[in-house]
A and B are shown apart, each in its own frame.
Chain A
Amino acid sequence: SYVLTQPPSVSVAPGQTARISCGGDNIGNKNVHWYQQKPGQAPLLVIYDDDDRPSGIPERFSGSNSGNTATLTISTVEGGDEADYYCQVWDSSGHVVFGGGTTLTV
């Protein structure tokens, strides 16, 4: 089965740029989606199709995907960005696969 690998944690100072990676075999050939989950809340879609933002998501959130790594980038990080972040793809069997999640600490 397809596996997505994320770092367990990323820590950045306020105002800096956070980059969260998501590794998978030839993930560059797949559509990658990213979700933000704050404590006690349901996940929220923040990036879809590698680098598109849903309505209402700040421009500070961006994504890229190439080769074996997809990356979520959060510019000018704020305290309110502290959350768990999950990447997600569909595997060749038509099943959803989530990464293990990354805790962003600001």
Chain B
Amino acid sequence: EVQLVQSGAEVKKPGESLKISCQASGYRFTSYWIGWVRQKPGRGLEWMGIFYPADSDTRYSPSFQGQVTISVDKSITTAYLEWSSLKASDTAIYYCIRQGGVVRELDYWGQGTLVTVSS
């Protein structure tokens, strides 16, 4: 069974750094792209970017390029989303996603990690 299990909720202050995680299991980790989607409170879904563990190819949405870093640790089948300096506008739920096969649907989603940035 494919599972994406994310790290717990975080409360941070503006300017602080943060790295949240998503541990994947139940499939060959290096064979599928893995990425992140943001959802601000009461708003829609925003795609942030995606990473291919087999060759470290990374694609970012133009809206998030330079704002976050997506990485993985293949040895523990875990993906990460990292900020170097959080802003209040980063307050949102972040979902880990797996990109499926030929037609690239987002076939599995993590449970979400709530990040709250407040002074």
Interface, chain A (partner B; CB < 8 A): 1, 31, 33, 35, 37, 42-45, 48-49, 54, 84, 86, 88, 90, 94-101
Question: What residues of chain A lie closer than 8 Å to B107, measured between beta carbons?
Answer: 45, 48, 54
Chain A residue numbers with a CB within 8 Å of B103 are 31, 33, 48-49
Q: Pick 7 A–B contacts, CB within 8 A, sort by A.
A: A33-B105, A48-B100, A48-B107, A88-B45, A95-B47, A98-B44, A98-B45
B80 CB-CB contact with A under 8 Å:
no
Residue from B46, B59, B100, B106 within 8 A of A94 (CB atoms): B59
Residues from chain A with a CB closer than 8 A to the CB of B37 are 43
**Is B109 on the interface with A (CB-CB < 8 A)?**
yes
Bound: A97/B45 CA distance, A: 9
Interface of chain A: mostly helix, strand, loop or mixed: strand
Shortest Cβ distance from residue B83 to the other chain A in the assembled complex, whole angstroms:
20
Nearest to A90 among chain B residues (CB) is B104
B61 is an interface residue with CB less than 8 A from chain A: yes
Q: Are B111 and A42 in contact (CB under 8 A)?
A: yes
Q: Is the CB of B110 within 8 A of A97?
A: no
Query: Quick check: A33 and B109 within 8 Å, CB to CB?
Result: no
In the complex, chain B residues whose CB is within 8 Å of the CB of A35: 45, 106
With a CB–CB cut-off of 8 A, which chain B residues contact A100? 44
Q: Are B109 and A48 touching (Cβ within 8 A)?
A: no
Assembly CA distance A34 to B100 (angstroms): 14
Contacting B106 at CB < 8 Å: which of A33, A37, A49?
A33
B106 touches A88 (CB 8 A): yes
A-B interface, 7 closest residue pairs, ranked by CB to CB distance from nearest: A96-B47, A48-B105, A49-B103, A42-B109, A31-B103, A101-B44, A33-B105
CB <8 Å contact, A98 and B105: no
